[in-house]
Amino acid sequence: MKINFFKYQGAGNDFILIDHTMSPLKNFDNNLIEQLCHRRFGIGADGLMFVTKHEDYDFEMHYFNADGKLGSMCGNGGRCIVAFAKHLGIIDKETNFLAVDGPHYARISENGDWVDLQMIDVDTITNDGDAFVLNTGSPHYVAFQSDLKDFDVFTNGKNIRYNSTYTEKGINVNFVEDNGDHLFVRTYERGVEDETYACGTGVTAVAMAMAKYKNQIGHINTDIKVLGGDIKIEFDYNGHKFTNVFLCGPAKLVFEGDVA
Ligand SMILES: N[C@@H](CCC[C@H](N)C(=O)O)C(=O)O
């Protein structure tokens, strides 16, 4: 069966997108998804998404990690699927769509390649030693790390993701260096089981952990550099809860193709 797909990337976090609006998504082949995401034997991607119709929303997002398994929320994936929905003509400049963690609002730039995506409110941050643990739609571990450019993110991230606390459910592991006017972040992603060039729910978690650590109250804007580019996070923080959370960044079509 021929599969028509679109490849998108958001700050280097890359995804295969499939238009499934003509029929409901009843079953899926996890092995095929893993194979399509494989960087040697497939198209290559950190994850795969189907867009389907929904009665109450503009569309529904179904996200799978590169290991072929259903993922939790993917922030950069969310931004890319919004750009894809605009490309398909499903939406125009704004949208309300449904994802695994609930409804999301998003707005899109005129040329369609920059998306501001509203993320879930967060009111719980716990500590694991010096690190912060929180869920921004996906579970995240946030640790400070100096000389991050030369740090072994794969080995250290994997050790944390597979330690006895997290091995069963897994966690995404973010390392952050505070460079004054911006944060530099590198992430080991669960489900990809490797470092990715960017992680949207991850940088959202980092900005929140940093605001809590610095005791910043009010409307906070955070500039973040990741391996694949620049991302902006904004939210309101009252010392207990993060609201009006937006993940803002690029979402670009790379190519379209067919799998025979
Ligand atoms: N790259 C994503 C995170 C995707 C979810 C994650 N790998 C998981 O299921 O834990 C993002 O941009 O948020």
| DSSP class of 42 | S
Percent of the chain with pLDDT over 90: 95
Residues with Cβ < 8 Å from 131, sequence gap 6 or more? Answer: 141, 142, 143
Quote the pLDDT of residue 28: 86
With 0.80 as the threshold, say if the pTM is over it. yes
Please tell me the distance between residue 142's alpha carbon and the centre of ligand 1 in angstroms: 14
Residues with CB under 6 A from ligand 1: 13, 46, 65, 71-72, 74-77, 138, 172, 189-191, 199-202
- Write the pLDDT tens digit of every residue in 244-253: 999 999 999 9
Q: Is the pLDDT of residue 77 over 90?
A: yes
Ligand 1 pocket mutation pick from 9, 48, 65 by most atoms within 8 angstroms of CB? 65
Quote the pLDDT of residue 147: 98
Quote the pLDDT of residue 34: 98
Q: State ipTM.
A: 0.91
Segment holding 153, helix H or strand E: helix 153-161
Q: Report how far residue 165's alpha carbon sits from residue 163's, in angstroms, rounded to the nearest whole number.
A: 6
Average pLDDT, whole number, for the chain? 97
Please tell me the distance between residue 96's alpha carbon and the centre of ligand 1 in angstroms: 20
Quote the pLDDT of residue 234: 98
Residue whose CA is at the smallest distance from ligand 1 atom 6: 190
Q: Are 175 and 185 in contact (CB under 8 A)?
A: yes
The mean pLDDT value for 18-40 works out to 93
What residues act catalytically?
74, 199
Quick one: three-class SS letters along 77-122?
A: HHHHHHHHHHHHCCCCCEEEEEECCEEEEEEECCCCCEEEEECCCE
Quote the pLDDT of residue 110: 87
Q: Is the pLDDT of residue 128 over 90?
A: yes
Q: Is the pLDDT of residue 211 over 90?
A: yes
The mean pLDDT value for 38-46 works out to 98
Quote the pLDDT of residue 86: 96
Please tell me the distance between residue 156's alpha carbon and the centre of ligand 1 in angstroms: 18
Quote the pLDDT of residue 24: 83
Q: Is the pLDDT of residue 21 over 90?
A: yes
Quote the pLDDT of residue 25: 85
- Write the pLDDT tens digit of every residue in 166-209: 999 999 999 999 999 999 999 999 999 999 999 999 999 999 99
- Write the pLDDT tens digit of every residue in 225-234: 999 999 999 9
Query: Going from the N-terminus, what domains does the chain have, and what CATH number goes with each?
Result: 3-119+251-255 (3.10.310.10), 125-245 (3.10.310.10)
